[in-house]
Amino acid sequence: MVTVSRQPLAAAMAIGIGLGGFFDGIIFHQILQVHNMLSGWLPVTDLVSAKTNMVWDGLFHAAMWVVTLAGVGLAWRAGRRGDGAMTTRTLVGGFLIGWGLFNLVEGLIDHHLLGVHHVYEAMGASIWDFVFLGWGAAMLLAGWLIVRRGPAGAMPTGPRRTAP
Amino acid sequence: MRRVLAFPVLALTAGPAAACNICHSPTSLGVRHLLFSHDFWLNAAAVAAPLPVLALAIVLVAREPRR
């Protein structure tokens, strides 16, 4: 009898959220420098404003590091308790769900609701903010489909159950 | 051995910070001024805003449904 649990999926999802946050921070904030964490409220016009934004970028990265660590902790706990297997589908699907969720939540709150920054800050609120949301929705959907098509019990929708 | 012991002692004192070349530059003073201005907590809340939603999503998935 194999006990089925959602713990491995939650772990993969948390790591996926972290990966999404790191991708955003590393690619958009640091390498491409198309926006920074508060560049909508505190425009990057000189060295002081750039470095101040850099501090907020760092705090954002630190938060993503904590989320990733929580994901690793959840995976460790699930493995230790034998709470279901971390199948490839659960891992990949969970990553995609987490990353997609990050894009959707961060995009809706930071880009659209608060306007603390926009994807391409030089254009302000633009089509790129919606591309970011669409990208997140596509990842979320793809992840959900992958997990759903996984082996029985990969993502139980009902009460906790057992499989032979 | 003394050198080994000196490292943590120095690291825990304010001496190295006082010796920091860039910490007291006009740029860093400007950064601190901008960072800790009146809207510090508003900025912090804005940066942290997505986190509770993401954390809630993880908790909801991790929670086992009741029998």
Which whole number is the average pLDDT over A4-33? 92
Q: Does B61 reach chain A within 8 Å, measured CB to CB?
A: yes
C-alpha to C-alpha distances, B48 to A22, A62, A102, A109, B12, nearest whole angstrom: 15, 11, 13, 10, 30
Separation of alpha carbons A164 and A55, rounded Å = 52
Q: Which residue has the higher pLDDT, A109 or A5?
A: A109
Q: Does B48 reach chain A within 8 Å, measured CB to CB?
A: yes
Q: Do A52 and B65 touch (CB under 8 A)?
A: no
What are the residue boundaries of the structural domains of chain A, listed by start? 2-149
ipTM of the complex: 0.84
Residue A4 in this model has a pLDDT that exceeds 90: no
Q: Measure CB to CB from residue B35 to each of A7, A47, A55 and give the nearest one.
A: A55
User: According to the model, what pLDDT value does residue A150 have?
Assistant: 67
CA distance A73 to chain B (A): 12
Q: Which of B40, B42, B56, B61 to mutate to test the interface with A (most CBs of A within 10 A)?
A: B61
User: According to the model, what pLDDT value does residue B23 have?
Assistant: 81
Residue B14 in this model has a pLDDT that exceeds 80: no
For chain B, give the percent of residues with pLDDT over 90: 48
Q: Does A76 reach chain B within 8 Å, measured CB to CB?
A: no
pLDDT digits (tens, 9 = 90+) for A140-164: 999 999 998 866 444 444 444 444 4
Q: Does B19 reach chain A within 8 Å, measured CB to CB?
A: no
pLDDT digits (tens, 9 = 90+) for A33-69: 999 999 999 999 999 999 999 999 999 999 999 999 9
User: According to the model, what pLDDT value does residue A133 have?
Assistant: 97
Q: Which residues of B touch A11 (CB under 8 A)?
A: 62
Residue A109 DSSP label: I
Which whole number is the average pLDDT over A110-130? 95
DSSP, residue by residue, A11-67: HHHHHHHHHHHHHIIIIIIIIS-S--TTTTTS---SHHHHHHHHHHHHHHHHHHHHH
Residue A1 in this model has a pLDDT that exceeds 70: no
Q: Do B46 and A13 touch (CB under 8 A)?
A: no
C-alpha to C-alpha distances, A94 to A11, A53, A126, A136, B62, nearest whole angstrom: 8, 31, 29, 13, 12
- Place B45 in a pLDDT band, splitting at 50, 70 and 90: very high
User: According to the model, what pLDDT value does residue A160 have?
Assistant: 47
CB pairs under 8 A between A and B: 83
Q: Do A38 and B62 touch (CB under 8 A)?
A: no
- Place B66 in a pLDDT band, splitting at 50, 70 and 90: low
Residue B64 in this model has a pLDDT that exceeds 90: no
Which whole number is the average pLDDT over B32-41? 91
